[in-house]
Amino acid sequence: MNVEFLNTLASVVANATPLVIASIGETITERAGVINLSLNGSLIVTAMAGFIAARVISFGVDVDAIDMIASAEAGLIGGVVVAMLVGALVALIIALSSIELRLDQVTVGFILTLLMADLAQFLGQEYTRIPGPVVPKWPVPLLQDLPLLGPVFFQQNVLVYLSYVLVIGLWFWLFRTRPGMAHRAIGERPEAAYARGTNVNRLRYVYVVLGGALVGVAGGAYSLHFKPGLSNPPAMQGDGWIALAIVIFGGWHPFRVVVGAWLFAALRAVSSDIQKNGLAVLGQTIEFNFVLLNGLPWLMLIVTLLLVSSGAIERLLLLLPGPVQRRMRSVLRSDPPRAIGTTFEVD
C-alpha cells in the first residue's frame, strides 16, 4: 500500500469530521422525532462564534494582535464550548417552537438557517481572514503504529477521535441501552413511550438541544480545524444541507451515516486532486473546465436520495443470507422515525 494513498485516506477521514459530527447531531435530534432544518445556518454561526471565542481567548479582542495572551489550548477549548452553546441555543428555539408552540419545524428551521448565516456574516465581519488557533494533531500512542489503520485513523486530532466516539457511542446508546430505547421510541411512537412512563416532551428537549450542541461542535470543527478561520462566503457553505441529506441516506443509523459522510469527503478529495493534477484515463489527459467538478457533491446528493427513495438500499437486504439479514436489518432500514415532525400531547 503506498504512503500517498494512505495519506489521502487519512485526509478524507479528517475532512469528513465536521460532516460526521453534524450528521450524528442531526441523527440524535431526528431520532427523537424533531427535524432541525437550520443545520446550514447553525454550522455557519457556530463556526463564527467558535472562531471568535478562540481568537479572543488566545489573542485578545484586538483583531490585529499577533502575540498570544493565553495558550492555544485554552482558546480552542473555549472556542468549542462557545460553539456548542450557540448550537444548543439555536436548537432550543426549534424545540420551544415545536413543542410549546406547535409550529411547523421546517418553517422555523428554514427561517433560522437564513437568519443565522446572515448573523454570522454580520457579527464576524471584523474577524474574517485573520489567523487563529488551530486544533493540533495528536497521534494516539500505540494505535498510531498499527499497520494501515494507524496512519489512516489514529494520526489525527482530538476532534476526529471525538467523531469516532460519537458514532460508536450513539450506536451503542440507541440499540443497546434502556434510555436509548426510550430515545428511539419518542421518535417512532410517542404514545407508546408515554404509556411506558417516558416523559416524551422533556426527552425531546434534551435530544434536540444535545443534537444542536453537536452541530455546534461541528461548526467549531470547520473554523478551528478543517478550514481554519472565517471567510466570506463561508467555507462550508452548503455543507449543512449535505449533512441533512446524509442523515436520510444514512437511514438514521450512525454507521450508515458515517459511511455517507466519508463518501462525500472522498468525492471531494478526488475532485480536488483532479483540479490539482489533472485527469488522465488510460494515459490520455482529459481536458475540461474543472469548475464543473464543484457540482459533483450536489449531484451525488441527488443520487443518494434517489437510492433511498427507490428502495434500492433496502432491497440489498433481500440478497443477504438469513442470519446476516437479521443482523443488518437495523442498518439497512431506510424508514424515517415515524413520528418525525409531529407534536405530542397527552390528551
Partner 1 sequence: MDIELRNIHKRFGTVHANNDISVVFPAGRITGILGENGAGKSTLMKILSGYQPADTGDILVDGNASRFSSPEDAIQEGIGMLQQDPLDVGAFTTLENFVYGRPERVLPDWQAARKDLEEASAHLGFDLEAETPVERMSIALRQQLEIVRLLALGVKALILDEPTTGISAEQKQTLFAALQQLAHRDGVIILLVSHKLEDVITLCDKVVVLRDGRRIGEEDMPAPGETDPVTLEKIKSQLVHLMFGQELGPHVRLEVPLDKVVLQLENLNLRDRRLQIENLNLSLRQGEVVGLAGLDNSGQGLTMRAICGLESVSSGRVLLEGEDMTNRSYRSFLHRGVVFGAAGRLEEGLIAGLTLTEHMALVRSGRAVLDWPALESYTSESLKHYDVRGEAEDRIEQLSGGNQQRVLMALLPANPQLLILEQPTRGLDVESARWIWQQLLERREGGTAILFSSAELDELVAYSDRILVFHAGRVHEVSDVASTTIDELGYLIGGEFKQV
Partner 2 sequence: MLLPVLLSLLLAALLVLAVGREPQEVLEKIWQGAFRNTRSFAGVLNFWIPLTLASVGLFVTFRAGLWNIGIEGQILAGAIFASAGALTFDFPPELAPLQLLLQILLGVLGGMVWAGITGALKIWLGVNEIFGGMALNALAGVWGIYLISGPWYPEGGSAQQSRPFLENALYPPLSRDWPVGLLAIVMTAVAMVLVPLIMARTRWGLQLKATGSNPRSALLLGVPTTRVAMSAFLVCGALAGIAGSYRVMFTYGSFRPLVAGGIGFLGLLVVLLSTMKPLWIPLITFVFSAILAGSTRLRVSLQLDSSLAGVLQGTLVLVFILFQGLRQRLEARRGDQAGDVSQASASSQSGLTG
Which residues of the shown chain bind partner 2 in the complex (CB under 8 A)? 37, 93, 97, 100-103, 106-108, 110-112, 114-115, 117-119, 121-123, 125-126, 238, 241, 244-245, 248, 289, 291-292, 294-295, 298-299, 301-302, 305-306, 309-310
Nearest Cα neighbor of 91 from 174, 242, 215, 188 is: 215
How many residues bind partner 1 (CB under 8 A)? The answer is 25
* Of residues 73 and 335, the one with the C-beta less far from partner 1: 335
* 3-class SS letters over 180-194: HHHHHHHHHCHHHHH
The answer to whether residue 283 forms part of the interface with partner 1 (CB under 8 A) is no
- 134-160 in b/e form (b: 16+ CB < 10 A) is bbeeeeeeeeeeeeeebbbbbbbbebb
Q: Which of partner 1, partner 2, none is residue 295 near (CB under 5 to 8 Å by kind)? A: partner 2
Q: Which of partner 1, partner 2, none is residue 276 near (CB under 5 to 8 Å by kind)? A: none
Q: Which of partner 1, partner 2, none is residue 200 near (CB under 5 to 8 Å by kind)? A: none
Phi-psi category of 148—alpha, beta or left, where left has phi over 0 and alpha has psi -120 to 50?
Answer: left
Nearest Cα neighbor of 220 from 132, 121, 113 is: 132
The answer to whether residue 315 forms part of the interface with partner 1 (CB under 8 A) is no
Pairwise CA distance, residues 317 & 339, whole Å? 24
Q: Which of partner 2, partner 1, none is residue 114 near (CB under 5 to 8 Å by kind)? A: partner 2
Which of 81-89, 187-195, 218-226, 253-261 is the region at the interface with partner 1 (rule: CB under 8 A)? 187-195
What's 140's DSSP letter? P
The answer to whether residue 202 forms part of the interface with partner 1 (CB under 8 A) is no
Residues shown for the chain: 347
Element (H, E) at 64: none
The answer to whether residue 326 forms part of the interface with partner 1 (CB under 8 A) is yes
Instruction: Give the residue, chosen from 62, 118, 273, 335, that forms a contact with partner 1 under the rule CB under 8 A.
Output: 335
The answer to whether residue 181 forms part of the interface with partner 1 (CB under 8 A) is yes
Lookup result for grid cell 469516532:
164
Kindly state the smallest distance separating residue 308's Cβ from partner 2, in Å: 8
The answer to whether residue 104 forms part of the interface with partner 1 (CB under 8 A) is no
Q: Which residues pair with 286 in a beta bridge?
A: 279
Pairwise CA distance, residues 195 & 95, whole Å? 22
| Residues at the site binding partner 1, with contacts judged by CB under 8 A | 176-179, 181-182, 184-185, 188-189, 191-197, 326, 329, 333, 335, 337-338, 346-347
